[in-house]
Amino acid sequence: MILEMRDICKDYPMGKGVAHILKNVNLDVEEGEYLAIMGPSGSGKTTLMNLIGCLDVPTSGSYLLGGRDVTTCNNKQLAEVRNKELGFVFQSFNLLPKLTALENVALPLLYGGVKKAERLERARAALETVGLSDRVEHRPDQLSGGQCQRVAIARAIVGKPKLLLADEPTGALDSASGAAVMELFRQLHESGSTIIMITHDRSIAKHAAKLMTIRDGVLSGGDDYE
Ligand SMILES: Nc1ncnc2c1ncn2[C@@H]1O[C@H](COP(=O)(O)OP(=O)(O)O)[C@@H](O)[C@H]1O
Ligand SMILES: [Mg+2]
């Protein structure tokens, strides 16, 4: 099991009380799974993704990532888990505007302490995987939205993460670019990647092999499409 969440709750202070945003979430993800979590706006998707991605800590509950209890990690350890074990794809790409595609993709390896020649070689290979070998020297403002998202996917996979996380990965794209991103996820899944994708869009969610839904902070389902 790559990911095991038990009775995860997330509260935020609200006025004099608290708002219960995630309510006793249980989630198991095995190696090689491709899971979509679907829910309407405000249902808690991003809050859940931030917990899965070790960007935030739960109020209560247990979370094992690759068998390791990440709820007891300090900030430095969490940063290392994010760098070594996880790859992130966001709706808004989050590329650094002054860096080329190649430099953006190589950046997580720099933080990970990989030497320069290997960084560049692996970044080139990741860009080839996403079909952008001819755009390595382009900056984000010289690329289309769909190409930027493919650079972001290359950056997410360059460190060979245990788990690829995507929050509304097609949310800012036209339908053709969105379809290209879904095709890329299909290929990554086929070659063994474990993917969790969050979306409010059923037509996007159906690309995954398995679907769960979240409503008012309650996660349910787990229907297999395959
Ligand atoms: N930092 C925060 N403080 C208080 N409430 C928050 C915070 N972040 C999110 N929320 C609330 O939690 C709920 C779920 O938000 P979110 O996880 O962003 O939903 P989604 O991604 O499904 O649209 C919303 O009602 C939102 O207002
Ligand atoms: Mg969201």
Amino acid at 141: D
pLDDT tens string 11-62: 999 999 999 999 999 999 999 999 999 999 999 999 999 999 999 999 999 9
DSSP character at residue 72: G
Instruction: Tell me the C-alpha distance between 197 and 63, whole Å.
Output: 18
Instruction: Tell me the C-alpha distance between 40 and 200, whole Å.
Output: 5
Beta 210-215 vs 218-224: how paired, if at all?
antiparallel
Atom of ligand 1 nearest to the CA of 217: 14
The alpha carbon of 44 and the centre of ligand 1 are apart by a number of angstroms equal to: 6
What residue segments make up the domains of the chain, in order of their start?
3-224
Residue 185 reports pLDDT greater than 90? yes
Name the residue among 146, 149, 155 with its Cα closest to residue 102. Answer: 155
Ligand 1 pocket mutation, candidates 47, 55, 218, criterion most atoms within 8 A of CB: 47
**In whole angstroms, how far apart are CA 108 and each of 45, 68, 116, 153, 200?**
25, 22, 12, 12, 28
Instruction: Tell me the C-alpha distance between 217 and 47, whole Å.
Output: 9
pLDDT at site 119: 97
pLDDT at site 187: 96
The alpha carbon of 21 and the centre of ligand 1 are apart by a number of angstroms equal to: 7
Largest distance between two CA atoms of the chain: 55
Q: pLDDT band at residue 226, thresholds of 50, 70 and 90?
A: very low
- Report the top-level CATH class of 3-224: alpha beta
Residue 81 reports pLDDT greater than 50? yes
Q: Give the CA count within 13 Å in the CB-facing half-sphere of 53.
A: 20
Q: pLDDT band at residue 5, thresholds of 50, 70 and 90?
A: very high
Q: pLDDT band at residue 86, thresholds of 50, 70 and 90?
A: very high
Residue 222 reports pLDDT greater than 80? no
The alpha carbon of 19 and the centre of ligand 1 are apart by a number of angstroms equal to: 10
The residues lining ligand 1, judged by C-beta closer than 6 Å to any ligand atom, are: 12, 19, 21, 39, 41-47
Residue 224 reports pLDDT greater than 80? no
Burial of 200 (0-12, 13-18, 19+ CB in 10 A): middle
Tokens for 13, please give them. 């202070």
DSSP H or E run through 184: helix 175-190
DSSP character at residue 220: E
